[in-house]
Amino acid sequence: MGYKILNKKELCPNQYELTIEAPYIVRNAKAGQFIIFRAEENGERVPLTIADVNKTTGALTIVFMAVGYSTKKLAELNIGDELVDIVGPLGQPTHIKNYGTVVCLAGGYGAAPCYLIAKAFKEAGNKVYMIMGARTKDLIFWEDKMKEACSELYITTDDGSLGEKGFVTQVLDRIIKAEKVDYAIAVGPMPMMRAVAELTRDKGIYTEASMNPIMVDGTGMCGACRVTVGGETKFACVDGPDFDAHKIDFDEVINRTKIYKDIEKKRSENCNLLKMAEKI
């Protein structure tokens, strides 16, 4: 069956929100889980965290940045078009319970999955702080939704164009000094999640990071998404994506991700050369 696009928005430059008819996935989806989609019949399989669900209508919302071949193809689709297939929900849900005071930290594109996570923690009775960070105000989205999902929202931008100038960690540090924080979760770029882990490491705050390494099959068979946690090999697609941030070997996963990105860059360059050659 195809998965019909019900709504499409460009949230900020090159970043899109799609609402898709997917009742079977939505029925079982929980905060922190993800899907894998194919935009076309011969397309590659791409993972995206579930951004929102409507249990009544069966509508699934995903947010993505059109940066690679497949996400650019996805961005070309419009309302009424269909995705070839979607697999999900995949991965383990975020460990939702009443911790007390929870801080959710969203860096860049991490804001999308953080919405459902913050909402679930709030519904579980927690006081929830949300800290959203981006390079500039043009990359901040879902501000109103986030305010509803948490108890208090903070925004930081690298250039100070919106909210506080600086990084999410400086707001987290201020909150920690002002009151007791029981749990923190970071979703976003690897360096940002590592910085959060280092800040909370000696403060007795249980901290999780939502890992987003390269994934291929989403079932743990390929091993591309392996992460070393506490000296043990884990697979982000089936054991995660959330892991104890204080036990993750961030250096290893950052280096492995860089290798994949370098390979992808060379592949894209070769594809562009082939396209140029065809026109000659």
Percentage of the chain with pLDDT > 70?
92
pLDDT category of residue 215 using cuts at 50, 70 and 90 = confident
Per the structure, the count of domains in the chain is: 3
Within 8 A by CB and 6+ apart from 178, the residues are none
Give the pTM: 0.87
Same-domain check for residues 104 and 155: yes
What does the angle CA 22 – CA 23 – CA 26 come to, to the nearest 5 degrees? 85
Q: How confident is the model at residue 237 (pLDDT cuts 50, 70, 90)?
A: confident
Please write the tens of the pLDDT for every residue from 38-62.
888 887 888 999 999 999 999 999 9
pLDDT (average), residues 242-257: 90
> What single-letter amino acid sits at 76?
E
CATH number at residue 194: 3.40.50.80
Digit-coded pLDDT (tens) for 114-144: 999 999 999 999 999 999 999 999 989 999 9
Judge if 234 and 253 occupy the same domain.
yes
State the residue for tokens 């801080």: 103
Which pLDDT score, from 0 to 100, does residue 67 have? 82
Domain end, chosen from 159, 187, 210, is at: 210
Instruction: Tell me which residue range forms the domain holding 42.
Output: 3-90
Residues 12 and 86 in one domain: yes
Question: Based on the domain organization, do 21 and 118 belong to the same domain?
Answer: no
Q: How far apart are CA 237 and CA 254, in angstroms?
A: 17
- Domain closes at, from 29, 60, 90: 90
CA dist 43 and 40 (Å) reads: 5
3-state helix, strand, coil in the chain (%, to 5): 35, 30, 35
Q: What's the average model confidence in pLDDT over 250-255? A: 88
Confidence band of 23 (pLDDT split at 50, 70, 90): very high
Strands 164-165 and 183-187: unpaired
| DSSP category for residue 248 | B
